[in-house]
Structure 1
Amino acid sequence: MVMQQALVLERRNELSLRDIDLPDVTGPGMVKIAIDTVGICGSDVHYYTHGKIGSFIVEEPMVLGHEAAGTVVEIGAGVSHLKPGDRVCMEPGIPDPQSRASRLGLYNVDPAVTFWATPPVHGVLTPQVVHPAAYTFKLPDNVSFAEGAMIEPFAVGLQAAQKARIAPGDVAVVIGAGPIGIMTALAALAGGCSTVVIADMMAEKLEIAGRYAGIVPVNIKERPLQSVVDELTHQWGADVVFEASGSAGAWKTLLSLPRPGGAVIVVGMPVEPTLIDWATASTREIRFETIFRYAHQYPRAIQMIGAGKVDLKPLISETFDFSRSIEAFQRAAEGRPTDVKLQIKLR
């Protein structure tokens, strides 16, 4: 262990920039990384403002941050695919490689997974971290650290798009134009959708989403989503509907949107129970899929961004120096409608 300065969540609504003991030994199969850029995720903000997410409760001081990119400064024994100086991004969830879930390729749902900035595991808003090389990925030369730190949330969108089994030319609907909703829409387009309708009540978020070709923004305060879908599909319905808002209210009319035999992909996590019209789901043979984080998506995300298939740079609203980390989190907690992704730069 070594003392490092870090952004520490001391308790609910209390942050500090201070020294804290963190791991510093680069053992076999591990790499040490100098952190460059960290994105602020909604879960980071939720721990800051609420002190817990479900059964995960902040009971001890915890370093925040899990969307990160940096530079390898040291490698442990047995690491052959990385070297000092490599620019990398890191997958924050580490499973037990011997678990049944991992052997099935479903390591994201391994009950034993440890995930950065999830109590009691420290995050990465600190100058250096040690991480398994198997979950550390080299960035192409044309992918910036800022984009590298966006790989983590984009991987969620890719997981959703993969579960959707998109066919070329499909029409999709995304409910919720937050960071994950927009990234899901971009992943759906890259996966073959001809059009993605994205719905929300925040005009500012919709304006940002609408800058992308192929995305049709719909402000549901001004126009019924159903009418837009009907118009685009000639009353047939969308091939895929992604629920990314986490709103229980969205489920009241959601099943009227997919076509017969279409799919509903549950991306957002409602904070309260939802009612589902199973009779409609059955008579229309709606297929349901759920996602939890992602598995095996990082290489795919890196390749897509490196190839120019997806541009996430317009989603970065502002970047703060590490010394302004507390200010950055206070800004994120405001939930400004013009903000999509705030980042913190450590170097």
Structure 2
Amino acid sequence: MRALVLEEKLKLSLRDIDLPLEVGPRDVRIAIHTVGVCGSDVHYYTHGAIGPFIVKQPMVLGHEASGTVLEIGSEVKNLKVGDRVCMEPGVPDLNSKASKLGIYNVDPSVTFWATPPVHGCLTPQVVFPAAFTYKLPDNVSFAEGAMVEPFAIGMQAATKAKIVPGDTALVIGAGPIGIMVALAALAGGCSRVYISDLVNEKLAIAGQYDGVIPVNIREHDLKAKIAAETENWGVDIVFEASGSPRAYDGIFNYVRPGGCIVFVGLPVEPIALDIVSASAKEVRMETVFRYANVFDRALALIASGKVDLAPLITGTYDFEESIAAFERAASANPNDVKLQITL
């Protein structure tokens, strides 16, 4: 089948590639409709690796997807041909200790679309396990269905934060994931969420949402801003979603005593963490790696209308324009949040 293939660092091609389409008893075959361009896809394109995950051979990109069921396996009961669906792209070993503990996202043997050496889904058809395929409600578009995957990261972060209704939060970084985290925190019960960044265009997009308060750290001292807004107490929760090493400097200044910091962004290099400041406030620290047991709830929130992700889709490309979509994503246009490709 034709697919968008990352041949090697900085080299993409649209070409035919052999991909398996045999449907097992618990699988479904899906016609892909929409695929989001994720920051990890772009990082593999521009750098050829993310930490220990190195592109050593041609790999099909894409993991944020929606589509239509074309065929079901003999044991599939939850789906039928013609169903509109989205897919949770990480499939664990269901017999692993991680899966039995409910933390299948950290199963060492998980296979995740477009993570070397696993091919992704930027191709007209895929075969995928029915257990990780979710039917889209009638009021959820294919474009929104392809947004469930990145929103699930926000859901995982909000879940790990253990939000109490009325909490206040700060999200550091107004990229796609940062905004998703802010929306998930609001949906989880936060009364207001501050979001900081250096780019006014991204802050303006985040600021469209009621309850999200943008802060440009070129123009405002973030520590002073948070102190003034919280009577020198600090926010209940800080979400670090930028991945920038600079974000860790003074990060414990923003959170209240006994509060929580959730690390969502993944720095490329090791960073220093001020454990003394964390201990002095007894700050609870949580980490996020993908998500587990939240995909269906993320979809339910979108379907309910309580979370509107449509304003975050800032560009749509045809499949034959996939390379142009990735080139645009790699250019880091400040007005872009989420680009999508339709097949």
- Do Structure 1 and Structure 2 share a fold, with TM-score over 0.5? yes
- Within 1, Cα distance between the matches of 2:269 and 2:51? 11
Give 1:87's match in structure 2, choosing from 84, 102, 111.
84
1:174 equivalent among 167, 171, 174:
171
Q: Distance in 1 between matches of 2:270 and 2:123?
A: 37
Q: 2:273 aligns with which of 273, 276, 295?
A: 276
1:255 aligned counterpart, secondary structure: helix
Q: Work out whether 1:338 is the aligned partner of 2:335.
A: yes
Aligned to 1:47: 44
Q: Distance in 1 between matches of 2:173 and 2:271?
A: 16
Other-structure match for 1:251: 248
**1:234 Cα deviation (Å)?**
0.8
1:93-172 correspondence runs (5 A) = 93-172=90-169
State the partner residue of 1:264: 261
1:97 CA displacement: 0.4
Q: Distance between the aligned counterparts of 1:286 and 1:24, measured in 2?
A: 49
**Cα distance in 1 for residues equivalent to 2:324 and 2:281:** 49
| Residue 190 (structure 1) aligns with | 187
Q: Where has structure 1 moved over 2 Å in runs of 4 or more?
A: none
Question: Structure 1 CA distance, aligned partners of 2:228 and 2:142?
Answer: 41
Structural mapping, 1:227-242, within 5 Å: 227-242=224-239
- Residue 307 (structure 1) shift: 0.4
Deviation of 1:10 (Å): 0.8
Q: For residues 276 and 128 of structure 1, what CA distance do their matches in structure 2 show? A: 45
TM-superposed CA distance for 1:262, in Å, is 0.2
Aligned to 2:320: 323
Match of residue 306 from structure 1 = 303
Displacement of 1:275 in angstroms is: 1.6
Length, aligned pairs only: 343
Query: Which residue type is aligned with residue 278 of structure 2?
Result: A
Gaps spanning 5+ residues in structure 1: where? none
d(CA) in 2 for partners of 1:279 and 1:63? 44
CA distance in 1, matches of 2:133, 2:92: 14
Using the alignment, how far apart are the partners of 1:336 and 1:323 within structure 2? Answer: 21
Tell me the residue number matched to 2:12.
15
CA–CA distance in structure 1, aligned partners of residues 109 and 265 of structure 2: 22
Q: What's the Cα RMSD here?
A: 0.6
Match of 1:26 in 2: 23
How far, CA to CA, are the matches of 1:307 and 1:116 in structure 2?
Answer: 28
Q: What is the match of residue 35 of structure 1?
A: 32
Between the aligned partners of 1:228 and 1:148, the Cα distance in structure 2 is: 36
Q: Are 1:70 and 2:67 matched, yes or no?
A: yes
One-letter identity of the residue aligned with 1:58: V
Amino acid at match of 2:11: E
Distance 2:279 2:328 in 1: 44
1 CA distance for matches of 2:277 and 2:19? 52
Aligned identity (percent) is 66
Cα distance between partner residues in 1 of 2:64 and 2:299: 14
CA–CA distance in 2 between the matches of 1:88 and 1:199?
34
Matched position secondary structure for 2:21: coil
SS of aligned partner of 1:158 = helix
Q: Please tell me the residue identity of whatever aligns with 1:117.
A: A
1:230 CA displacement: 1.2
Deviation per CA, 1:148-187, whole angstroms, max 9, x where unpaired?
0000000000000000011111110000000000000000
Secondary structure of the equivalent of 1:337? coil
CA displacement, residues 87-110 of structure 1 (integer Å, 9 cap, x when unaligned): 000000010000000000000000
Separation (CA, whole Å) in 2 of partners of 1:56 and 1:280: 33
Q: Distance in 1 between matches of 2:279 and 2:55?
A: 41
- TM-superposed CA distance for 1:249, in Å, is 1.1
Question: Deviations along 1:85-143, whole A, 9 cap, x unmatched?
Answer: 00000000010000000000000000000000011110000000000000000010000
1:286 aligns with 2:320: no
Q: Secondary structure at the match of 1:21?
A: coil
d(CA) in 2 for partners of 1:196, 1:120: 38
Amino acid at match of 1:98: N
Range 219-228 or range 127-136, more displaced: 219-228
**Offset, 1:229:** 1.1
SS in 2 for 1:71: strand
CA distance in 1, matches of 2:41, 2:319: 16
Select between 228-237 and 159-168 the one with higher mean Cα deviation: 228-237
Aligned pairs for 1:1-12 (under 5 A) are 4-12=1-9
Q: Which runs of 5+ in 2 are unaligned?
A: none
